Amino acid sequence: MRDTASGVRHTAIRAYRKVRARARRHGRRIRQHWRTATPQQRQTAGVTAGAAALGLVLAVTAVATSGPWDSGQRTAERSRAAAREGRSGGNHTGDAPRAPRVLAALDMEAVRGGAAGGGRDAKPSHGPGAAGVPPPSEAALADILEPLLKDGDLGKHRGVSVVDAATGRKLYGSKPRTAATPASTVKVATAAAALTALGADHRITTRVVRGKGEDEVVLVGGGDPTLSSGALDGLARDTARKLRGHDGGKISVRYDTSRYSGPLRHSIGTNDNLAPVSPLMVDEARLKGGSGSGDGQDGDAPAHGPAPRSTDPAEDAAEAFADALGEHGVDVDNEPKEAKAPGKAKELAAHRSAPVSALVERMLTYSDNDIAEALARQTALAAGEPASFKGAGKAVRRTLGKLDVPLKGARFADGSGLDRDGKVSPALLTSLLVRAADPGHAALRPVLTGMPVAHFTGTLDSRYGSDKGKQGAGLVRAKTGTLTGVHTLAGTVVDADGRLLAFAFMASGSTDGKGAQGSLDSLAAALANCGCRESPSGS
């Protein structure tokens, strides 16, 4: 009796697997032909698919009723649960070595190496995506994008670049190599330059060293804008421990900001969006009681968004450090003063920032201007340029040149995009995104993993909820850019066939900011809904 039951269960399992495999094959074929079908054909196909789905549901229900069961759980469920374990996408800011899993479907070697892979010497017909489905055609993209690009909300200038992320092949463009003001999408370039120059694992160090005498300590700013109040207190605690052997006299506190040069203040002047760019600051120089989200202290999420800032971040940080030393039992003499640390000074304590990979992700997710300017200056230091606005701009351009991306017309006036004199082209942005998706440039992967997710995270959390944009929710990952009259969006999207596309939309001259953002979202959502190989109009 038991053998008979076992045989029935095995037969049911085999039947279920055959039905499932057949359904998948038919599903792929239907999807490939759907985009080129006429409305009448689509209606017929819809009725047929509905009948087939009903039959599949009945078959699966029959199998589920009879088993197979094992200790109160279907074995198929157990297998699926085991396969999915550890694959949650909730933590997209994990360690850099795990980041490639976010785009595990990209098989760049297969794409470039085989005749069906869309390599440079092959016919562009196959590649990543649903089994053998090629990227959208230029004619198909033109049909869906060009009507949207005519939207008057976008202003007079419109630049577009859409490329296949796997091959880098251009799929659609409108003035793709015309440089324009990028606003915050320039942070894509800042991120790529910092990761290239410094490496994903590099950390920025804030140190405390001996001063000119035994009764003097120097707080040395390394350029970490994310240094928190808690971390500063930790530096004071560790310093106090090292000073316990001191003869009991008072200690003088000095602070060193010599790592940066040039003006501290951005050309936009005093602004809640950016603190003076100093190598020494605490909590991004946010004043207590500001309007930023989170306070960065006591375990809360790091603060982000506009907030009142200190006019002298370094002095405020040094004063907070001196106060913390006093709380840890050190008798501090007078107010802190600025002074350069002696060469080869003995280190008393040090704090290292999160790795550059994590800083890049935070910068992109929340469009953090303070981190952007810090990463631009760190790039300058790595390239041997002065750590100033001008030196950082030169270093970013030179570093990006190593990635073989189109830099004609590009000008990097700052790292954040707040300066309107900055200029990049849509083609440059999509080229950087393609490099970040390439396993050959694994260190650049945080450029992709840090992108806000449409309708869910960062600067896109309140967008893609309307009828125009909802098709892109969860599928579009993009960096936003907004200045008065300037609206940009650059990122990646998975289309209806599973292809990863990189895009950049740049518009200027708009008088309706909300309308312009909605139009950009509609463009990206249209890409998410597209999987067509041929023009829907039949051209």
- Cα 333 to chain centroid distance, Å, stands at 45
Cβ distance 484 to 509 under 8 Å?
Answer: no
Distances (CA, A) of 500 to 163, 456, 492, 505, 530: 9, 19, 7, 16, 11
258 is catalytic: no
187 is catalytic: yes
Nearest alpha carbon to residue 334 among 345, 324, 343, 323: 323
Which of 161, 252, 353, 367 is catalytic? The answer is 367
Which of 184, 357, 425, 510 is catalytic? The answer is 184
Count of all residues that appear for the chain in the document: 539
* Residue 281 structure tokens: 């600051």
Nearest alpha carbon to residue 436 among 198, 203, 191, 202: 191
Cβ distance 320 to 326 under 8 Å?
Answer: no
Phi, psi of 467 (to 5 degrees): -60, -35
For residues 468 and 528, give the distance between their C-alpha atoms in angstroms, rounded to a whole number: 12
For residues 472 and 527, give the distance between their C-alpha atoms in angstroms, rounded to a whole number: 8
For residues 256 and 25, give the distance between their C-alpha atoms in angstroms, rounded to a whole number: 66
Distances (CA, A) of 322 to 211, 233, 252, 327, 329: 14, 10, 9, 9, 11
First to last CA, the chain: 65
310 is catalytic: no
For residues 256 and 264, give the distance between their C-alpha atoms in angstroms, rounded to a whole number: 14
* Residue 14 structure tokens: 């085999």
Distances (CA, A) of 520 to 108, 297, 363, 528: 29, 36, 21, 13
Cβ distance 158 to 506 under 8 Å?
Answer: yes
* Residue 76 structure tokens: 């198929």
Strand ranges (DSSP E) for 422-528? 476-483, 486-494, 500-508
Which of 137, 161, 187, 519 is catalytic? The answer is 187
* 302 DSSP assignment: P
- Residues with Cβ within 8 Å of 406's Cβ and at least 6 positions away in sequence, in order, are 177, 425, 427, 428, 431
Q: Centre a 10 Å sphere on the Cβ of residue 279 and count the other Cβ atoms it contains.
A: 27
Strand ranges (DSSP E) for 232-387? 252-256, 337-338, 347-352
Give the bridge partners for 173, in sequence order: 161
Nearest alpha carbon to residue 376 among 406, 401, 398: 398
Catalytic residue annotation: 184, 187, 367
